């Protein structure tokens, strides 16, 4: 691997099997072993690594913290993983214009911590915000519980420094929303590592609200909880967060964290409103009344900051807590219209039951972004295939209900073949042409986001063979 070591230094390159195994996967059940992982610490080093791979015709896979949930950081065709976790500086916080400039390896919550002394924070808050990076959030257009009112990552990214697939460095966007020309920043956010690598990110910061009120609404029927969600939005209110957790999530979380989720409840809604003191009081009272009209047996208001933090700890730890129930889980990410929530949830439970699988639902109910978690033990023969088949049926349910196959996790490897449910061949071809405009072909995060013309396994194996042949004489002399 002399070429990579010469470009970045030996201390920034790994290539032995025991070192690489940690980079074989992200937070999905997908797997793909790279031939090397590099750890650049500057834009120049990212560009150097990309140029080496480009000359050898070897795939490049950008990677953040590895918390992605669609296989986006998996080396599906082998190649060089560019891990950006050492680029973790907050370069600038502009208090007047409420803008920050960060490197891609900055952990999401660390940006809000850096901005907090100035009364500011970074709004997108994925449940993995204590681990996930801003660069990964940008690649996937990550959401989070508080994106109902504030919008997803794309609404908060103003500009980018990018390394293209041939190593060229460009800048798109700027420090404000009003930039002349094509919105290349918007095109890049959510591109899942298939266009370029972001090495600097300009983001919008928001003011910490004057007051916040958090409510827990407890329901004996999940249909009633779903109805309350639609009724709150229909009443003209857009809470900053509106989350639902079903009985299986409650069973996983409550015995460990003691958040106050009743173990006998069918579902709970975690609802938050923020803004001016008087407004939050009025909104909280109105939401309380709506929940009770729709069957809530109790609505609790978090009185202290510690109570609020505990309620949110349960929500943000909910998926990882599922390990208490089963050794493996498969997280899905579909979107449906809010009015279809009760019907689609019933069908999700029915699909899981038909396949003999347990399912736990925790999701961003306010914008209809579902996260069914299929629970299983991969040691059971044939169960993984059942899980994937059930997952595909659930994704199809979402599309047939007028929704989408992803709200925030991305398409990645997991759902690329489902894209044809939403887009025509002409649509997909037009999207793929954007890769050409960015100089990126299938050697830049290959086998992601778009359906393959041949079977994925065929494409992957051919690419792996070509990668191995290229790596021999160049990268691994």
Please, which pLDDT band fits residue 2 given cuts at 50, 70 and 90?
confident
- Identify the pLDDT of residue 303: 84
Asked if residue 477 is part of any domain, the answer here is no
Q: Are strands 206-207 and 120-121 parallel, antiparallel or unpaired?
A: antiparallel
The two tokens of residue 301 are 């208001």
Residues 174 and 215 in one domain: no
Cα–Cα distance between 112 and 156 in angstroms, integer? 13
The two tokens of residue 393 are 């049926």
- Identify the pLDDT of residue 473: 41
Asked if residue 426 is part of any domain, the answer here is no
What is the domain-level CATH number for residue 72? 3.30.43.10
Q: Is the pLDDT of residue 448 over 70?
A: yes
Residues 289 and 373 in one domain: no
Asked if residue 388 is part of any domain, the answer here is yes
Asked if residue 444 is part of any domain, the answer here is no
Q: Is the pLDDT of residue 104 over 70?
A: yes
What is the domain-level CATH number for residue 119? 3.30.465.10
Asked if residue 148 is part of any domain, the answer here is yes
Cα–Cα distance between 324 and 331 in angstroms, integer? 16
Stated length of the chain: 477
93 phi/psi in degrees, rounded to 5: -125, 115
Domain that includes residue 235, residue range? 211-320
Domain boundary residue among 265, 287, 320?
320
- 264-302 residue pLDDT tens: 999 999 999 999 999 999 999 999 999 999 999 999 999
Residues 59 and 123 in one domain: no
The two tokens of residue 423 are 């887009």
What is the domain-level CATH number for residue 345? 3.30.70.2740
pTM of the model: 0.91
Q: Which of the residue ranges 239-248, 263-272, 445-454 would you say has the lowest mean pLDDT?
A: 445-454
Domain boundary residue among 148, 181, 207?
207
Asked if residue 162 is part of any domain, the answer here is yes
Asked if residue 410 is part of any domain, the answer here is yes
Residues 29 and 130 in one domain: no
Residues 222 and 310 in one domain: yes
- Identify the pLDDT of residue 458: 44
- 115-126 residue pLDDT tens: 999 999 999 999
Residues 196 and 103 in one domain: yes
Whose tokens are 């937070």? That residue is: 27
Longest dimension (CA), the chain: 71
Residues 397 and 380 in one domain: yes
- Rounded to 10°, the helix 341-354/222-234 angle is 150
- Structurally, the chain folds into a number of domains equal to 4
Residue 19 C-alpha from the chain's centroid = 25
What is the domain-level CATH number for residue 247? 3.30.70.2190
- In this prediction, residues 300-308 reach a mean pLDDT of 93
DSSP label of 70: S
82 phi/psi in degrees, rounded to 5: -100, 100
Q: What is the dihedral of CA 262, 267, 269, 270, to 10 degrees?
A: 50
- Rounded to 10°, the helix 383-400/341-354 angle is 160
Distance set, CA 6 to CA 81, 175, 409, 463 (Å): 17, 35, 36, 25
Say if residues 12 and 45 touch (Cβ distance below 8 Å): yes
Residues 109 and 190 in one domain: yes
- 383-419 residue pLDDT tens: 999 999 999 999 999 999 999 999 999 999 999 999 9
Residues 312 and 260 in one domain: yes
Residues 109 and 182 in one domain: yes
Say if residues 413 and 30 touch (Cβ distance below 8 Å): yes
Going by C-beta distance under 8 Å and a sequence separation of 6 or more, which residues neighbour residue 374?
A: 329, 330, 332, 352, 357, 358, 359, 387, 390, 391
Alpha carbons within 13 angstroms on the beta-carbon side of residue 6 total 10
- In this prediction, residues 372-379 reach a mean pLDDT of 96
Please, which pLDDT band fits residue 469 given cuts at 50, 70 and 90?
very low
- Identify the pLDDT of residue 463: 44
Residues 235 and 202 in one domain: no
Whose tokens are 């407004």? That residue is: 279
Whose tokens are 């074989």? That residue is: 24
- 143-188 residue pLDDT tens: 999 999 999 999 999 999 999 999 999 999 998 877 889 999 999 9
Residues 12 and 81 in one domain: yes
Going by C-beta distance under 8 Å and a sequence separation of 6 or more, which residues neighbour residue 25?
A: 31, 32, 66, 74
Domain boundary residue among 257, 291, 320?
320
Asked if residue 476 is part of any domain, the answer here is no
Express as a percent the part of the chain with pLDDT over 90: 88
- 13-66 residue pLDDT tens: 999 999 999 999 999 888 999 999 999 999 999 999 999 999 999 999 999 999
């Amino acid at each position: 691997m002399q070429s990579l070591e010469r470009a970045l230094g030996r201390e920034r390159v790994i290539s032995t099997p025991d070192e690489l195994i940690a980079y074989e996967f992200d937070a999905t059940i997908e797997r793909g072993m790279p031939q090397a992982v590099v750890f650049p610490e500057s834009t120049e080093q990212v560009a150097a690594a990309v140029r080496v791979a480009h000359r050898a015709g070897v795939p490049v896979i950008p990677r953040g913290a590895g918390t992605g949930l669609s296989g986006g950081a998996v080396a599906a065709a082998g190649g060089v993983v560019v891990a950006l976790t050492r680029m973790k500086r907050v370069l600038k916080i502009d208090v007047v214009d409420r803008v920050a400039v960060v490197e891609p390896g900055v952990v999401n919550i660390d940006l809000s911590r850096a901005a907090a002394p100035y009364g500011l924070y970074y709004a997108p808050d994925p449940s993995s915000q204590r681990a996930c990076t801003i660069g990964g959030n940008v690649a996937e257009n990550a959401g989070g519980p508080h994106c109902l009112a504030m919008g997803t990552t794309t609404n908060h990214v103003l500009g980018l420094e990018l390394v293209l697939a041939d190593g060229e460095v460009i800048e798109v966007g700027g420090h404000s929303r009003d930039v002349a020309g094509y919105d290349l920043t918007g095109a890049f956010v959510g591109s899942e590592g298939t266009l370029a690598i972001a090495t600097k990110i300009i983001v919008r910061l928001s003011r910490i609200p004057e007051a916040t009120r958090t409510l827990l609404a407890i329901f004996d029927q999940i249909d009633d909880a779903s109805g309350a969600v639609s009724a709150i939005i229909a009443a003209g209110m857009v809470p900053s967060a509106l989350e639902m957790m079903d009985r299986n999530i409650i069973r996983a979380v409550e015995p460990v964290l003691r958040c106050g989720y009743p173990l006998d409840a069918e579902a709970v809604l975690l609802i938050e409103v923020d803004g001016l003191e008087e407004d939050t009081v009025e909104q909280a009272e109105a939401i309380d009344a709506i929940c009770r009209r729709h069957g809530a047996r109790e609505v609790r208001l978090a009185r202290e900051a510690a109570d609020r933090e505990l309620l949110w700890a349960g929500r943000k730890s909910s998926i990882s807590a599922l390990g208490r129930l089963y050794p493996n889980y498969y997280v899905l990410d579909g979107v449906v219209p809010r009015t279809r929530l009760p019907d689609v949830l019933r069908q999700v439970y029915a699909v899981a039951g038909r396949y003999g699988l347990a399912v736990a639902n925790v999701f961003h109910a306010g914008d209809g972004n579902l996260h069914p978690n299929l629970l299983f033990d991969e040691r059971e023969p044939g169960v993984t295939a059942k899980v994937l088949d059930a997952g595909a049926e659930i994704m199809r349910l979402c599309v047939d209900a007028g929704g989408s196959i992803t709200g925030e996790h991305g398409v990645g490897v997991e759902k690329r073949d489902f894209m044809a449910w939403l887009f025509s061949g002409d649509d997909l071809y037009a999207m793929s042409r954007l890769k050409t405009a960015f100089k990126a072909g299938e050697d830049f995060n290959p086998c992601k986001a778009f359906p393959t013309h041949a079977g994925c396994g065929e494409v992957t194996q051919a690419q792996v063979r070509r990668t191995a042949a290229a790596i021999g004489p160049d990268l691994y002399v």
